[in-house]
Amino acid sequence: MKTVTTEVRLARQSDAPIVAEVHDEAWRAAYRGLIPGAELEKLISRRGPGWWDAAIRKGNRIALLGFGDEIAGYANYGRNRAKALTYEGEIYELYLRPKFIGLGLGQRLFASARKDLEAHGLDSLVVWALSDNDAAMRFYRGLGGKPVARSSETFGDRALDKTAFGWTA
């Protein structure tokens, strides 16, 4: 029987290419059919290795989840950006490569990001998800998130509803 180890660690500059690769795979899987094709490709192309390298150099909190010798996913998080919401922290992004979905790794990555936010004094948090992304909606509800706000975002010529889920200490 082979044992596979998992670990969560903060991204280093040398990780920028792999974070871009995971972002690309995860966004194509999550948003194909929701975000219009040309707009999705434009959004993905903006987040290449250079973008991730700059984000890591600026000190953004980007946690990587390693599964064996592969990076299975990442979470990008920090202070809540929606000042109208009373939550202190926010998980801006949490994505897994499609082949790692359903193994409990997303829960592990979420728990690690939440623990890091709490360690930095951010005891409550919010996460936004596209309301038509059934998998994300189920995932955040399953983690105990309560819908706390709604908004919309336009992608090309298509407006999509978003739901904010909140957690308190």
CB half-sphere exposure, 38, CA atoms < 13 A: 3
Provide the pLDDT for residue 169: 80
How far is the C-alpha of 156 from the C-alpha of 37, rounded, in Å?
Answer: 9
H-state helical runs in 11-155: 16-31, 37-45, 49-57, 105-119, 134-142
**Nearest CA to 93 among 79, 76, 108?**
76
Lookup: tokens for 38: 């040309």
Q: Which residue has the tokens 């992304």?
A: 133
Q: What is the pTM of this model?
A: 0.95
Lookup: tokens for 137: 């909606």
Q: Are 130 and 116 in contact (CB under 8 A)?
A: no
Q: Are 58 and 130 in contact (CB under 8 A)?
A: no
Provide the pLDDT for residue 2: 79
Provide the pLDDT for residue 21: 98
**Nearest CA to 129 among 120, 142, 114?**
142
Give the CATH number of domain 6-122; options: 3.40.1190.20, 3.40.30.10, 2.130.10.10, 3.40.630.30: 3.40.630.30
How far is the C-alpha of 130 from the C-alpha of 99, rounded, in Å?
Answer: 21
Provide the pLDDT for residue 3: 82
Q: Could you tell me the mean pLDDT of each successive run of 10 residues in the chain, 169 residues long? A: 89 98 97 95 96 97 96 98 95 98 97 98 98 97 98 94 96
Q: Are 82 and 95 in contact (CB under 8 A)?
A: no
DSSP 70-90: EEEEEEEEEE-S-TTS--SEE
Provide the pLDDT for residue 67: 96
Domain ranges of the chain: 6-122
- AA letter at 99: K
